[in-house]
Amino acid sequence: MLWTMAVRNLWRNRRRTLLTMSALMVSVALLILSLGIFSGMFAAMLASATQQYHGHMVISVPAYQDRRQLHDSFPYSRQLLDRLRERDEILGAAPRLRGFGLVSRAGRTEAGELLGIDPGREQQVTSLNRMLTAGVFPSSGQGNWVILGRGLAAKLEARPGDELVFFTQAADGSIGNDLLQVTGIFATGDFTRDNSLALVSLDWLQQLLVLPGRIHEIALALRSPMSAAKLVPVISGQLPPELEVYDWGRLLPEMQEVIASYDVSRFILMLILYAAAGLGVLNTFYMSVLERVREFGVLLAIGLKPAAIRNLVLLESLLLGMLSLLAGSGVGVFMTLLLSGRGIDLSRWISSVTYAGGTIPPRLRTELVVDNLLLPGLVLLLVCLLAGYLPARRASRLQPVAALRGD
């Protein structure tokens, strides 16, 4: 009964209802949009670190991630990789071997980090193959190709087609040296990486470092990177005991901190926007209660309890909140999706910003995250109930006779 009455009351003053709803809708929609923008920014930042280099999760022997010693390697098992790939949460798994040494061309010698990869599998984990500024990404896990970071290529004055020498000490203490052929140049926007990283084939590096059949890490790409930490114990269970799983939060603690602090700012932002919108709801309901004094009087006179009147008004505000939420979320999600593809290029105004181990690209791009819908929705309904409470209490305290008289 109360529901029908609540619906009818809202319907009776459609314009006011719509106006109040519009304020709430705009708050919800823009809140969802701005949270989407922030999520997009953090996703880009995280992606810059994970999809350009680390992966969302890394498997290695425990000592390796801290010290990166050549000897902390483990045997490469394709079965293990395939087993990992079968999991639904894992989008890709790539084996890697890493070596530090001197890269030289025509009298120029620079220190560099060589990452031995299997191009087919690497593409499932990182997006370096889409960041080439020159040349092509190789398709084969063999051969002496090398993809250089832009800065490193500039220091060596190397272009696709040029030959380089790599020189290092292999795992057996011997001198490792071989020729590499530049097939491509990548640019991630991250200064350190572009200046020292070079990709080579896994087989080639295994031979050079005399680490046949061994790798330093398996990098994983996850379906939902933000829940990487939850997946750690699950993956650990599938691994031989000498291997350890590192999620990106452990590899990049500064970034995890930044993203955690974002949860706080998200909440503050929401409260501010809702405070402004909530005052509007409060206003509307006072109006509507004052307008309907006579009507409430009648209801009280025919025996409706004051509590029922209060509930009626609360129900109306809740209903209003739900309707606005529905419509606002729709608009918000629509706008978020609109900006989630290519986004808006801002490179005319700013260049990329390096922050907390990641890089924020100059592009306004949103990311739709369920969390960004749930919490704002719940809090909005709460705000509506809160804003409805004062008018509801007032309505329930009316004296029938006085009310009927129309004071």
Partner 1 sequence: MDLLRLAWRNLWRNRRRTWITLAALAFSIMLVQASHNLSSGVYAQMIESGVRAGSGHLTVYRSGYLNSRDEKLSFDPRGLLPDLARMPAVEAVLPRLHLGGLAQSSRESRGIVLTGIDPGKEALINPFLRRLPKDRQLPDGVSRKALLGDRLLRELQLKPGGKFVVTLQNRQGEMISELFRVHGVIHTGMRELDRSLVMIGRQRAAELAGVPGQVHELALIMKDAGQPAAVAQLRRLLAAERDLRLVFWDEAMANLANAIKLDYASQKFIFLIILMIVTIGVVNTLLMSVMERSREFGTILALGARPATLHRLLFLEALIVGSVGLLLGTLFGSLATWYLVAQGIDLRHWIDSELEFGGVVFEPVLRAVWDPLWMLQIGLYVVLLCVAAALYPAYRAGRIVPAVAMRH
Partner 2 sequence: MKIPPLALTLCWSLLLLMPLPRCYALDLPALIREVETRYQGASSHALVTMEIRTAHWQRSLQLEIWSQGRDRFLARIKAPIKEQGVATLKVDQEVWNYLPKVDRVLKIPPSMMGGAWMGSHLTNDDLVKANRIDRDYTFRLLEEDAQGWLIEALPKPDAPVVWGKLLYRIKRTPLVPVLISYFDEEMVEVRRIHFNRVRQIGERWVPLRMLIEPLEKQEQTLLEYSEIEFDLPLAATLFSVRSLKRH
State the residues that interact with partner 2 by CB under 8 A.
Answer: 70-71, 100-102, 104, 107, 109-111, 165, 167-169, 171-175, 177-179
Cβ 167 to partner 2 shortest distance, Å:
6
Q: Tell me if 324 contacts partner 1 by CB under 8 A.
A: no
- Nearer CB in complex with partner 1: 165/346: 346
What the block records as the tokens of 215 is 């790798």
* Partner interacting with residue 178 (select from partner 1, partner 2, none; CB below 5-8 Å by kind): partner 2
Among 9, 34, 50, 324, binds partner 1 (CB under 8 A): 34
Closer to partner 1 by Cβ: residue 97 or 156: 156
Q: Which residues contact 62 (CB under 8 A, 6 or more apart)?
A: 244
Q: Which does 169 bind (CB under 5 to 8 A by kind): partner 2, partner 1, none?
A: partner 2
What, of partner 1, partner 2, none, does residue 188 touch, CB below 5 to 8 Å by kind? none
> Mapping DSSP to helix (H, G, I), strand (E, B) and coil, where does residue 217 land?
strand
Whether the CB-CB separation of 61 and 243 falls below 8 Å is answered with: yes
Longest dimension (CA), the chain: 103
Q: Which of residues 12-31 bind partner 1 (CB under 8 A)?
A: 15-16, 19-20, 22-23, 26-27, 30-31
- Cβ atoms within 10 Å of 94's Cβ, excluding its own: 23
Question: From the list partner 2, partner 1, none, which binds 279 (C-beta under 5 to 8 Å, kind-based)?
Answer: partner 1
The vertex-381 CA angle with 403 and 224, nearest 5°, equals 175
Per-residue contact flags (x/-) with partner 1 for residues 216 to 255, judged by CB under 8 A: --------------------------------------x-
Give dist(CA 245, CA 57) in Å, integer. 7
Closest separation in Å from C-beta 83 to partner 1 = 36
- Name the phi and psi angles at 78, rounded to 5: -65, -30
Q: Which one among 142, 174, 351, 399 touches partner 1, defined by CB under 8 A? A: 351
Distance CA 287, CA 121 (A): 64
**Which is nearer to partner 1, 38 or 166 (by Cβ)?**
38
Contact with partner 1 (CB under 8 A) among 37, 158, 228, 259? 37
| Candidate residues 63, 260, 275, 307; the one interacting with partner 1 per rule CB under 8 A | 275
Cβ neighbours, 10 Å, residue 405: 11
Query: With contact defined as beta carbons under 8 Å apart, do 393 and 310 qualify?
Result: yes
Structural element, H or E, at residue 94: strand 90-105
- Contact indicator for 133, 152 with CB cutoff of 8 Å: no
Cβ 215 vs Cβ 94: under 8 Å: no
Shortest gap between Cβ of 327 and partner 1 (angstroms)? 14
Give the residue with the Cβ less far from partner 1, 160 or 280. Answer: 280
Cβ closest to partner 1, residue 275 vs residue 374:
275
Q: Which of residues 75-114 bind partner 1 (CB under 8 A)?
A: none
Angle between helices 14-49 and 371-396 (to 10 degrees): 150
Q: How far is it, in rounded angstroms, from Cα 139 to Cα 279?
A: 60
- Asked if 350 is part of the footprint of partner 1 (rule: CB under 8 A), the reply reads yes
Strand 197-201 to 108-117 pairing: parallel
Least separation in angstroms between CB 328 and partner 1? 11
Choice between 119 and 332, CB closer to partner 1? 332
Stretch that binds partner 1, among 223-231, 309-317, 355-363, 398-406 (CB under 8 A): 355-363
CA dist., res. 215 & res. 187, Å (int): 25
- Contact with partner 1 (CB under 8 A): which of 231, 282, 300, 313? 282
- By CB under 8 A, name the one of 134, 287, 368, 386 that touches partner 1: 287
User: Which listed range, 101-109, 221-229, 320-328, 350-358, lies at the site for partner 1 (CB under 8 A)?
Assistant: 350-358
DSSP, res 223: S
Count Cβ atoms below 10 Å from residue 315 Cβ, excluding itself: 21
- Other C-beta atoms closer than 10 Å to the C-beta of 239 total 16
User: What does the alpha-carbon distance between residue 218 and residue 215 come to, in Å, rounded to a whole number?
Assistant: 8
Beta bridge partners of 149: 186
Strand partners, 103: 110, 166
Interaction between residue 152 and partner 1 (CB under 8 A)? no
Which spans of this chain sit near partner 1 (rule: CB under 8 A)? 15-16, 19-20, 22-23, 26-27, 30-31, 34, 37-38, 41, 254, 269, 272-273, 275-277, 279-280, 282-284, 286-287, 291, 349-356, 360, 362
